[in-house]
Copies of this chain bind each other. A is one copy, B any other.
Amino acid sequence: MSAPSGAPFNAQFNLPVRVYYQDTDAGGVVFHARYLDFMERARTELLNARGFDLARFADESRILFMVHGITVRYHRPARLNDLLVATARAASLGPASVEFEQRVERGPDLLVEGRVRLALVDRDRQRPVRMPAVLRQILETSG
């Protein structure tokens, strides 16, 4: 389960995320769907940190990541101006898919945890596509 270099497969990426008014709702806390935005940011920055540019990938290979399924549990609410950490870790890889394990934390507190399953699909025909080796290697290796 580890890459040839010995780097652990399950290396986790941590992204600081600030809560702004735009993320909150009239209940005084972060709106539940906004945590999925925070998680998307963490997944993208995990890839950026490993030299993988999603936008160039979509342009050059015509391959998109499509979210296939999500499971999220909410434990504690985040509030305006909180400084959070959104984490991302590629927990399992399929031939044409990846499942990320993600959390949103505030200091020692786990606020939200989720699993996000993404499929690689051809941009034009929306059909599953085998994961390119370069992407597989990146998801198996820490930055």
Contact = CB atoms under 8 A, between A and B. Distances in A.
A26 B81 CA distance: 11
Interface in A76-102: 77, 79-82
A54 to B, nearest CB: 6
Give this chain's copy count: 4
A52 to B, nearest CB: 10
A71 B36 CA distance: 12
A58 interface: yes
- Interface SS of A by simple majority: mixed
A27 B79 CA distance: 12
29 contacts: A18-B45, A18-B48, A20-B40, A20-B41, A20-B44, A21-B44, A21-B54, A22-B33, A22-B40, A22-B41, A26-B29, A26-B55, A26-B58, A26-B79, A26-B80, A33-B33, A33-B34, A33-B37, A33-B40, A48-B81, A55-B79, A55-B82, A58-B80, A67-B74, A68-B73, A69-B72, A69-B73, A71-B71, A77-B126
